[in-house]
Amino acid sequence: MWDYTDVMMDHFKNPRNLGEVKDANAVGMVGNLSCGDALKISMKVNEETNIIEDIKFKTFGCGSAIAASSALTEMVLGKTVEEALSVTNLDIADFLGGLPAEKMHCSVMGKEALEEAVKNYRGEESLKECEDQSDVICKCFLVTRKRIERVIKEENLTDIEDVINFTKAGSGCGGCIPDIKKILEKIVGVKEEKEENQQKFVEMTMVQKIQLIDEKIKSHVRPELESHGGDLEFVSLEGTKVIVKLKGVCAGCAGSKATLKNIVEAKIKEHVFEKLTVEEV
């Protein structure tokens, strides 16, 4: 038997915010009734302040799923959408005084339902729509490859048991466990290689760092900017700040800040060093 905390049992027996918000402008649903777990979250978000003024849930699942959903709604009610998104599944588990390892997927489901509701509020494509539903790895619980990969990366999982506990994939017949192991090994291997490259950058001389940044800008940043009529010049490196100058249509563009953050800085973090930031001269 699992050891549940008093807080967890209270939220199971006396769930808060149970039901559905009638005038909701944000709705998110995850899971599948045929697989034993499903959660629907509905919210009323103030469109001027972005504050969650009302939130309710309906869930089909075990006691941990009910408690985790109840805890999540209590945690985010009255917060802005941005503040709510900062709540992690581990925060939900901590709020309940802990969850058995085998039930961690309930807190993950809560976090994902909230993210789906926010995407619905913002008019963005849902995670489920982004996933290739034909690429299901776990047929018992309809868990796709993308979902497994996403959870492994977000939760920094390194053990097959953790992947099963956090995604529920592999906890049925177990036939998909070899495939899950391959996905885990590939991601962990890439992560270790990335960490090794990060350490190499730290140990480089200033000249070597500048040469590497310039090389990666030429190979990974400029081609994308040039495809839209823009360009960029690498000016200098000051500590962890990469100073650049936007050129072409990028210079003076209203979206230049987004370009620096979402393209230039993102690619430099990915291909050079994750602690680097980018500023325009």
Give the 3-state secondary structure of residue 171: coil
Looking only at the bridges linking them, the beta strands covering 52-60 and 37-45 are: antiparallel
Tell me which residue of 71, 12, 62, 73 sits closest to 38, measured CA to CA: 62
Whole-number Å distance between alpha carbons of 165 and 146: 16
Is residue 35 among the annotated active site residues? yes
Among candidate residues 35, 62, 140, 253, the one labeled active-site is 35
Which candidate in 106, 138, 176, 250 is catalytic?
A: 106
Distance in angstroms (rounded) separating the CA atoms of residues 128 and 134: 12
Radius of gyration of the chain (CA): 22
Cβ neighbours for 41, distance < 8 A, ≥ 6 positions apart: 27, 28, 29, 55, 56, 57, 69, 72, 73, 113, 114, 116, 117
> What value, to the nearest 5°, has the Cα angle with vertex 212 and ends 211 and 216?
120
CA angle 215, 220, 226 (to 5 degrees): 110
Residue type, 65: A
Rounded distance, CA 265 to CA 278, Å?
5
State CA 126 to chain mean position distance: 13
- Phi/psi at 23 (nearest 5 deg)? -105, 40
Angstrom CA distances, 264 to 205, 212, 269, 271, 277, stand at 23, 15, 9, 11, 9
Residues known to be catalytic: 35, 106
